[in-house]
């Protein structure tokens, strides 16, 4: 059933993680207000009756005296030991001055609720964060007799510089107004604030200490919307002409009210098993994470390196929860090991796997079945602490079914994503009450940049083409962050009273050396490295020159395939291979560098094919030729060829690289190996040769020259 109504959210953004002392709220000491202004943040200094309040002006010798006070509970925190800590706001009965006090380690069973008026008895202590009452006895006294805690219109007068005796006291600033950002950099963030009427009021300086909690605060503050009211708890400090309110806990800075709300979205794409970067990338994301961020992974995450491939993406899937990805859109290379590994990895993480246009497929009838819900979800919804609800749709480019070895995806197919995105976006807005709808597309911008998609979503994160690109189509930002973790894409969206008023985008260059490795992720990587036992460092051979990814490496692999076919007793005319992922450079060739060049586990078939199809495919691939006679279009020839090429199908799931038909005679195998892929065939070839001459894999060698196939040659 469709719910044709808007969702209304009322509440507070609460920060639930304690932090080290890291921030300071700076206020000019000469600041003044009109006569009769309320004074809600000063602590009472004079001695008062113990039955009314705790006396704060104590000497060290008196600091363990049992004291009593009353106040209204403003916040309740649960401790790891199941005890509770909470804050009370107190109002002096004669001066009407407000103050705040933390109550720690309450072990009692009384039911506590925000807004309750209570009596507290306990030991008054002081630590680096200020005064607190420890291990209290709590007596409920009913509702707050002094009115609601919230609703103070502005921060009241802070003490002048001559009142230095206030230094170190814990106070409560019920409401202040965050205005425009003045500056933001790696050292800290400065924000200008006003009294709510646009008049200059004070500045907030968050000083970046080198602590993990500093990172959390800075990330949170950077995500705060302008024109927002906040409340703060902290300790007063006097420094020359200025009075500071030092915020010592992430808990102590809380949003009160705002019409403007912001979501910041960070995304990566086409990481391709770059495990050497994952620990530092984890640190980057943790620094950016706060209650109003969304993290997206747009696919092709696993396939590409020995440390990722050998565990079939398990290592990098386990990184998802450590980083905090909200969505992972399947890319074409997620299918490189078959559907079972996708299902297995899906069970390793809380991150939602997305692919809204992935459907079951019946190969015999060439018809779609139902949505492939055993593999993916169409979308995921995330509720932010600022009240925004964000929907994330994931799709894969329809044409990318042709980029996957057809035998691995014989039971699934990809539909046209455009009408699916439009339908799901409407569902997310109308039925799931989403304020912002994002599209994570494992597809290039040209594949998803159309009026239907642009009018349906609020931002599009692209992938697959490995481009670092940013554009705007209509008013919608499209962005892609290159590949191998070179960039992290960021889009910021501001919502004001239900309307998107601002969209900003940027590709952030990611330099792994600028970030410390996340400890937990570094340990996880190390545990998988042990399983390799140094295999990636094995020296296979040396080369006197470079072998390019598009010519030299596939010619090398074709040579290895041809020699293995002959050794296994096949009489072949040539071997054929498509381009590699990366080049091999002069000098040492290790198993690790070969793995990076040939990361795919393609097996090698021996097949009889038509001369017409062979000559056509030779235009796009590389060969190693054994036949001296010419190749004719009317002939039939036996070749060693990768499964990806031989079994390639078009979008209608019809063989299109060898459409005239073919007969498979066998596959290259190795005793004791379940699959003998072309990378390991090439590795054995290099181990035997020990040294390479790069010129042997140039077009000057007639065995490699595809333009000579229609001619007879002599070897």
Report pLDDT digits (tens) over 380-439: 999 988 888 999 999 999 999 999 999 999 999 999 999 999 999 999 999 998 999 999
**pLDDT tens string 248-278:** 555 666 655 556 789 999 999 999 999 999 9
Q: Walk across the sheet containing 539-543 and list its strands.
A: 587-590, 539-543, 691-692
Contact 568, 626 (CB under 8 A): no
pLDDT above 90: percentage of residues in the chain: 59
The whole-number average pLDDT for the span 196-200 is 42
Strands (E), 240-377: 242-247, 253-258, 260-268, 293-297, 327-329, 352-354, 358-362, 367-371
pLDDT class for 97, splitting at 50, 70, 90? Answer: low
Q: Is 209 exposed, middle or buried (0-12, 13-18, 19+ CB in 10 A)?
A: middle
Query: pLDDT value at position 77?
Result: 76
Domains and CATH numbers, the chain: 23-258 (2.40.50.140), 260-528 (3.60.21.10), 534-708 (3.90.780.10)
User: What length does the chain have?
Assistant: 715
Q: Share the mean pLDDT of the chain.
A: 79
Q: Are strands 476-481 and 459-461 parallel, antiparallel or unpaired?
A: parallel
DSSP 657: S
Task: Name the least confident of 30-39, 223-232, 408-417, 418-427.
Answer: 30-39
Q: Does position 481 have pLDDT exceeding 80, yes or no?
A: yes
pLDDT digits (tens, 9 = 90+) for 651-676: 999 999 999 999 999 999 988 776 78
Q: 387: which strand partners?
A: none
Q: Is the pLDDT of residue 489 over 70?
A: yes
Residue 353 in 3-state DSSP?
A: strand
Q: Which two tokens stand for residue 141?
A: 């006294």
Positions of E strands within 432-538: 436-442, 459-461, 468-473, 476-481, 487-496, 499-509
| Max mean pLDDT range (46-50, 90-94, 629-633) | 629-633
Task: List strand residue ranges (DSSP E) for 330-428, in order.
Answer: 352-354, 358-362, 367-371, 379-383, 389-396, 412-414
For helices 339-346 and 314-323, the axis angle rounded to 10 degrees is 30
Per-residue pLDDT band at 297 (split at 50, 70, 90): very high
What is the pairing mode between strands 66-78 and 84-91? antiparallel
Question: Which stretches of 145-302 are assigned E, i.e. beta strand?
Answer: 170-185, 188-194, 200-207, 228-239, 242-247, 253-258, 260-268, 293-297
Band (193; pLDDT cuts 50, 70, 90)? very low
Q: State how far the Cα of 703 lies from the Cα of 696, in Å rounded to an integer.
A: 9
What are the pLDDT digits (tens) for 180-189? 444 444 433 4
Do 354 and 331 meet the contact criterion of CB atoms below 8 Å apart? no
Cα separation of 71 and 142, whole Å? Answer: 10
Confidence of residue 148 (pLDDT cuts 50, 70, 90): very low
Q: Which of 62-71, 282-291, 537-546, 681-690 has the lowest mean pLDDT?
A: 62-71
DSSP 8-class letter at 115: T
Question: HSE of 315 in the Cβ direction (CA atoms, 13 Å)?
Answer: 32
C-beta of residue 609 within 8 angstroms of C-beta of residue 553:
no
Question: Quick one: CA dihedral 556, 561, 564, 565, positive or negative?
Answer: negative
Q: Could you tell me which residues come within 8 angstroms of residue 495 by beta carbon, excluding any fewer than 6 positions away? A: 260, 261, 262, 263, 388, 435, 436, 501
Q: Is 145 exposed, middle or buried (0-12, 13-18, 19+ CB in 10 A)?
A: exposed
**C-alpha span between 634 and 655 (Å, rounded):** 19
Place of tokens 């932090």: 19
**Over 80: is that where the pLDDT of 310 sits?**
yes
Q: What is the pLDDT of residue 409?
A: 96
Residues 6+ apart with CB under 8 A from 251: 14, 15, 16, 17, 18, 19, 75, 77, 233
């Amino acid at each position: 059933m469709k719910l044709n109504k808007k969702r209304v959210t009322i509440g507070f953004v609460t920060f639930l993680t304690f932090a080290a002392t890291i921030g300071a709220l700076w206020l000019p000491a000469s600041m003044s207000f009109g006569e009769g202004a309320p004074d809600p943040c000063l602590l009472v200094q004079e001695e008062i009756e113990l039955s009314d309040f705790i006396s704060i002006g104590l000497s060290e010798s008196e600091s363990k005296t049992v004291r009593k006070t009353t106040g209204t509970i403003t916040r309740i925190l649960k401790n790891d030991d199941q005890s509770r800590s909470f804050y009370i706001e107190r109002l002096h009965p004669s001066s009407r001055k407000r103050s705040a006090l933390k109550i720690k380690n309450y072990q009692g069973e009384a039911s506590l609720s925000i807004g309750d008026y209570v009596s507290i008895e306990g030991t008054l202590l002081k630590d680096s964060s200020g005064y607190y009452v420890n291990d209290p006895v709590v007596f409920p006294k009913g509702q707050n007799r002094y009115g609601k805690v919230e609703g103070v219109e502005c921060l009241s007068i802070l003490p002048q510089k001559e009142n230095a005796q206030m230094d170190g006291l814990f106070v409560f600033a019920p409401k202040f107004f965050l205005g425009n950002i003045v500056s933001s950099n790696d050292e800290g963030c400065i924000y200008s604030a006003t009294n709510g009427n646009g008049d200059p009021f004070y500045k907030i300086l968050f000083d970046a200490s080198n602590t993990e909690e500093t990172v959390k605060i800075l990330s949170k503050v950077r995500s705060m919307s302008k024109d927002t009211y906040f409340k703060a708890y902290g300790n007063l400090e006097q420094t020359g002409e200025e009075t500071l309110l030092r915020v010592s806990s992430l808990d102590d800075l809380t949003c009160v009210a705002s019409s403007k709300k912001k979501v910041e979205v960070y995304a990566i794409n086409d990481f391709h098993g770059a495990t050497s970067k994952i620990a530092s990338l984890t640190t980057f994301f943790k620094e950016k994470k706060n209650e109003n961020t969304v993290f997206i992974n747009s696919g092709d995450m696993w396939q590409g390196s020995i440390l990722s491939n050998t565990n079939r993406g398990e290592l990098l899937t386990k990184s998802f929860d450590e980083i905090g990805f909200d969505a992972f859109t399947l890319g074409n290379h997620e299918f490189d090991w078959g559907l079972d590994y996708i299902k297995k990895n899906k069970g390793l993480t809380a991150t939602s796997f997305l692919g809204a246009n992935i459907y079951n497929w019946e190969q015999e009838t060439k018809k779609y079945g139902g949505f492939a819900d055993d593999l993916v979800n169409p979308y995921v919804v995330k509720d932010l602490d600022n009240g925004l609800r964000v929907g994330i749709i994931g799709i894969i480019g329809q044409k990318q079914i042709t980029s996957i070895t057809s035998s691995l995806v014989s039971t699934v197919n990809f539909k046209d994503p455009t009408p699916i995105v439009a339908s799901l976006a409407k569902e997310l807005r109308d039925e799931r009450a989403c304020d912002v709808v994002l599209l994570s597309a494992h597809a290039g911008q040209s594949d998803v940049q159309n009026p239907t998609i642009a009018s349906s979503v609020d931002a599009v994160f692209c992938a697959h083409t490995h481009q670092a690109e940013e554009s705007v189509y209509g008013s919608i930002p499209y962005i892609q962050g290159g590949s191998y973790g070179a960039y992290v894409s960021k889009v910021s969206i501001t919502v004001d009273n239900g309307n998107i008023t601002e969209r900003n985008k940027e590709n952030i260059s990611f330099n792994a050396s600028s970030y410390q490795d996340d400890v937990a992720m570094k340990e996880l990587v190390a545990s998988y490295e042990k399983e390799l036992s140094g295999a990636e460092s094995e020296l296979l051979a040396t080369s006197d020159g470079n072998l390019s990814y598009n010519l030299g490496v596939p010619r090398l692999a074709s040579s290895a395939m041809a020699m293995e076919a002959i050794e296994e007793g096949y009489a072949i005319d040539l071997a054929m291979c498509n381009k590699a992922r990366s080049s091999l450079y002069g000098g040492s060739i290790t198993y690790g560098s070969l793995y990076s060049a040939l990361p795919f586990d393609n097996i090698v078939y021996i097949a009889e094919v038509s001369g017409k199809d062979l000559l056509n495919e030779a235009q796009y691939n590389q060969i190693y030729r054994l036949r001296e006679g010419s190749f004719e279009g009317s002939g039939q020839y036996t070749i060693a060829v990768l499964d990806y090429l031989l079994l390639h199908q078009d979008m209608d799931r019809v063989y299109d690289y060898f459409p005239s038909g073919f007969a498979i005679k066998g596959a290259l195998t190795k005793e004791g190996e379940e699959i003998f892929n072309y990378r390991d065939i090439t590795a054995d070839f290099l181990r035997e040769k020990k040294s390479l001459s790069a010129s042997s894999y140039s077009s000057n060698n007639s065995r490699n020259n595809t333009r000579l196939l229609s001619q007879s040659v002599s070897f």
